[in-house]
Structure 1
Amino acid sequence: MYFLLSLFMFMCGLLVFSFNYDHFLITLLSLEYIVLSLFLLVFIYMFINFFDFYLLMFLLTFWVCEACLGLSLLVSLIRGYGNDYFFSFNLLQC
């Protein structure tokens, strides 16, 4: 049951990520939602198969670093352009 819940969460996160690309913040939140569903999926898999949770802590460390990197990009984007709309800035501009 929890396995299906985490797969449903993953699919919902992918749908939001693929169909809502106006704001950078919503894109980052959907990525974090996908990471949360993957964390639940890996936790359930390790709990059912009686694996050690050291790998889970290693993955969680990388996911937290990914979240910090996304937030720092969001802050630098807002300081540079004033908002987080994707259509308001040109990526080819230096």
Structure 2
Amino acid sequence: MLIYSFMMFIFMYLVGLLVLCFKCKHLLLMLLSLEFIVLSLFLGLVVFMLMFYYENYFLMIFLSLSVCEGSLGLSILVSMVRSYGNDYFNMFNFLW
């Protein structure tokens, strides 16, 4: 059972990385793929904690940090949409 969960974690992580690499047109799609990668890392941590019987308190810390990361990404998305008018990633010129 844990082997299948670990294989599912690896598959989810690789799919999230592929989506992040190939769907980089919109910032919202990039943020969604990052959240998918974080969820797959959470699944990997759960499998690791169950396999070695560690304490699961670290999972709560990881979830709270991932929620903070998601809210920060959404706030950056809202500020960029307000200033640029769209969420196309290639329209953002950070050098100006």
Q: What's the TM-score once normalised by structure 2's chain length?
A: 0.92
Give, in angstroms, the shift of residue 88 of structure 1. Answer: 2.1
Of 3, 8, 15, the match for 1:5: 8
Query: Which AA in structure 1 matches 2:29?
Result: I
Query: Which AA in structure 1 matches 2:17?
Result: L
Give, in angstroms, the shift of residue 59 of structure 1. Answer: 1.1
Residues 32-79 of structure 1 deviation map (CA, whole Å, 9 limit, x = unaligned): 000000000100110121111111111111111000100000000111
Give, in angstroms, the shift of residue 87 of structure 1. Answer: 2.1
The question of 1:53 aligning with 2:34 is answered no
RMSD: 0.9
Q: What corresponds to 1:35 in structure 2?
A: 38
User: Structure 1 regions of 5+ residues with no counterpart?
Assistant: none
Q: Distance in 1 between matches of 2:94 and 2:5?
A: 41
| Correspondences of 1:56-75 after superposition (within 5 Å) | 56-75=59-78
Q: What corresponds to 2:28 in structure 1?
A: 25
Give, in angstroms, the shift of residue 90 of structure 1. Answer: 1.9
Q: Distance in 2 between matches of 1:69 and 1:16?
A: 21
Q: What's the TM-score once normalised by structure 1's chain length?
A: 0.94
Query: Which AA in structure 1 matches 2:20?
Result: F
Report how many aligned residue pairs link the two structures.
Answer: 93
Percent of matched pairs sharing the same residue: 51
